[in-house]
Amino acid sequence: MEEKPLIGITPGDPCGIGPEVVAKSLATGLPYASCRPVVIGSVAAVALGAEVAGADLKVRRIGDLSRAGREEGTVDVLDPDNLEASEIEPGVAKASCGRANAQWLQAATDLAMSGRIAASVMAPVNGEALARGGMTGGLPGTDPGSLYLTLLSGPLRVVHVFDHVPLEDVCRNLSQELVTTAIVRTAESLERWGIANPRVGVAGLNPHALGRQESASIEPGVAAAAAAGIAVEGPVAPDTVFRRCIEGRYDVVIAMFHDQGHIAIKTWGFEGNCAVFLGAPYLFLSVGHGTAYDIAGRGVADHRMMLSALLQAASLASGRGFC
C-alpha cells in the first residue's frame, strides 16, 4: 500500500482561532483517510484548541516524524518547547506568541524544503503579534512572474497575476511576458499535482475583454503559451470566465488582479475555500480568514477552510489533483 503523504500543520497564532480550527478539522477524521497530519507547534496550544472545540482528541508530543499522523483521534505534535502555556491568552496579540509562531513556520519550511514533509498548511497568523515578536518578513508573499496566490473553492480555482497591487499599477505594468509566464507556471504546477493537460482560461482586464491591455499584453501572452502546447483560451470576458470554470470548461482561471479573482471566489463559495501559493519551492497552503481575536476561545469558529486546506494538500501532494 502506498504511504500517505505527511502533511505539516502550523497551528497559527495560539491566541487566535487557529488551534481551534485545526482541532475541529482533525476531529472529523477526514484528513487521516488521505494523509498523515502532524502539527508543528505547541502541545499546550493544540490541547487548548481541542478543549475549546469540544473535540475528543488525544494530543501527543512526538520526538520524530516516523510515527506521526498514523492514528485517527490522536494529534501528534512536534513541539520545539518555545512557548509556555501561561503565555496563551485568547484574543490578545502577544510578542511571545508571535515569536513562537514564527519559529514554527520556519521549522515547517525547513522540513518541507528538505522533503521530510510533503506539504505545509498554515493556520491564520496575526501580523501584529509577529511584529511584536520581531518577525518582519519570512511569510510567503506574492510576486508577479514568480509566486502566485491561488484560491480554491470547489470547481472554481483562480490564479492571480497581481495580488495586492493598485489597479492603476496593474494597468501600467501588465505585459505579455507576465501573462505567458503565469500561464506556463500554472500549467506546470497543475501537471505536477496530477492534472494532465490542464485547461486554462485567462480573464481579460477590461469589460468584454476589449481594451489596450488585451491587445498589447493578454492576447499575445495567451498566443505564446498556446504555441508552447498549453490548452489555453483568452482573453475571456471577465463576467463569464469564472462561470465557465465552475461548469467544467477550465481547470483553472488566471485573473489579472486581486479583486477580479477574490470577488468571484468569495461570491461562489466563501466557506470552505483555501489558498495555495503556486510557484513556491514546496507545497504550501493556508486559509482565507484571519485570527479572529474577537471570537477566540469561544468555540464558535468555522473550521471548513482549514479542513479544505488539509484535504487539498493531501490530494495535491499525492498527485491526485484537486479534491
More confident residue, 116 or 130: 116
Give the CATH H-level superfamily of domain 148-268: Isopropylmalate Dehydrogenase (3.40.718.10)
Among 107, 89, 122, which residue's Cα sits nearest to residue 16? 89
pLDDT above 90 for 134? no
pLDDT one-digit tens code per residue, 70-104: 999 999 999 999 999 999 999 999 999 999 999 99
Over residues 257-279, the mean pLDDT reads 94
Second-level CATH architecture of 6-140+280-317: 3-Layer(aba) Sandwich (3.40)
Least trusted range by pLDDT, from 85-89, 108-112, 131-135, 276-280: 131-135
pTM of the model as a whole? 0.94
pLDDT above 60 for 137? no
**Would you list the domain boundaries of the chain?**
6-140+280-317, 148-268
- For the chain, percent of residues with pLDDT exceeding 90: 92
pLDDT one-digit tens code per residue, 220-259: 999 999 999 999 999 999 999 999 999 999 999 999 999 9
pLDDT above 60 for 114? yes
Over residues 46-58, the mean pLDDT reads 97
The pLDDT score that the predictor gives to residue 139 is: 62
